[in-house]
Structure 1
Amino acid sequence: MLKNILCVDDDPITLMLCQKVIKKAEFSENVMFANNGQEAFELFQSLVGQKQNDNDIQLPQLIFLDLNMPVMNGWEFLDLFKNSNSNEFSQTKVIILSSTIDPADYNKAKQYDVVSHFLSKPITVEMLENLKPIYS
């Protein structure tokens, strides 16, 4: 079981579903949320800063990321995340969780080393069960 996961999506129903499915699948102890890429990046930076003062702070080990969001979309977040100078960021993997069916998005995701999977919404217990051996 993972310690912390961050779900990034502008849809509150999707975020609620993520929380319920992650809990039901016993995939992570804690789920954090952000409504767009900017919130997610700021949260991550804040946690990295806190970790410098408190080693007990646990960064998300995994991020479920939507692509189409206002303020900062998933691609913009990935660019910031990828170019961050913090070694802490390299310890976190990203799973794109999107409703897109565009093959160009799938191919673009392969260009990011941090992206481990590209999954279609909605998240399900079965999806998480298939991911458990990889992230346990």
Structure 2
Amino acid sequence: MIIDDESTDRYILKRVLKKSDKTGQIFEASNGQEALLFLAEHERGIKEFPDSFPPLIVFLDINMPIMGGFEFLEEFSKLRKNKTIYQTCFFAMFTSSDMQQDIERAESFEFVKGYISKATFTLEKYKAILAQLN
């Protein structure tokens, strides 16, 4: 899943992910609130996407309108505690921020497994995140 308000960034990331042999259904959301609503409807998600829901990896931007990345992580933490289905979801921050405080804040969530700069994202970095999950 890709959660980012910039359609160009979603498009570029989606193209890179499709080059991987480990990518299935790619879900998209333009802000944290939209993504949270999608993920919270777990029964519908399982019914519509039985082999792809919930998403294994979620790429999350930090700065978005309506609900930003950190606010989303706080809300998703609550959802994850209440629904065991989300224990398999892991996140990689996909952001233009290289501020140390953002990196540390992201890493404070146990399910955040990577922090990737949009400027330097590659297929190899995606594969490195996948390797952490095995």
TM-score range, shorter chain: 0.7 to 0.9
When the two chains are superposed, the root-mean-square deviation of aligned CA atoms in Å is 2.0
Query: Residues 54 and 40 of structure 1: is their aligned pair in 2 closer, same or farther, counting only changes over 3 Å?
Result: closer
Structure with more strand by fraction: 1
Identical-pair percentage = 25
Equivalent residues of 2:31, 2:65 under 8 A apart: yes
AA matched with 2:113: S
* Counterpart check, 1:72 vs 2:70: no
Structure with more helix by fraction: 2
Which runs of 5 or more structure 1 residues have no equivalent in the other structure?
Answer: 1-5
User: In the alignment, which residue of structure 1 is the partner of 2:44?
Assistant: 50
Equivalent residues of 2:94, 2:117 under 8 A apart: yes
User: In the alignment, which residue of structure 2 is the partner of 1:3?
Assistant: none
- Cα shift at 1:126: 2.1
TM-score (norm 2): 0.87
Equivalent in 18, 21, 33 of residue 28 of structure 2: 33
* Counterpart check, 1:127 vs 2:125: yes
Query: Residues 22 and 99 of structure 1: is their aligned pair in 2 closer, same or farther, counting only changes over 3 Å?
Result: same
Equivalent in 77, 86, 101 of residue 82 of structure 1: 77
How far apart in 1 are the matches of 2:40 and 2:9?
24
- Report how many residues are paired: 130
- Cα shift at 1:127: 1.3
Equivalent residues of 1:27, 1:128 under 8 A apart: no
Runs ≥4 in structure 1, deviation > 3 angstroms?
51-55
How far apart in 1 are the matches of 2:112 and 2:4?
16
Which stretch of structure 1 is more off in the superposition, 124-133 or 80-89?
A: 124-133
TM-score (norm 1): 0.86
Give the 3-state SS of the residue equivalent to 1:29 in structure 2: coil
Deviations 1:53-100 (A, max 9, x none): 679352101100000000000001000001122112222001111110
Which runs of 5 or more structure 2 residues have no equivalent in the other structure?
Answer: none
Larger relative CO (CA 8 A, sep 6+): 1 or 2?
1
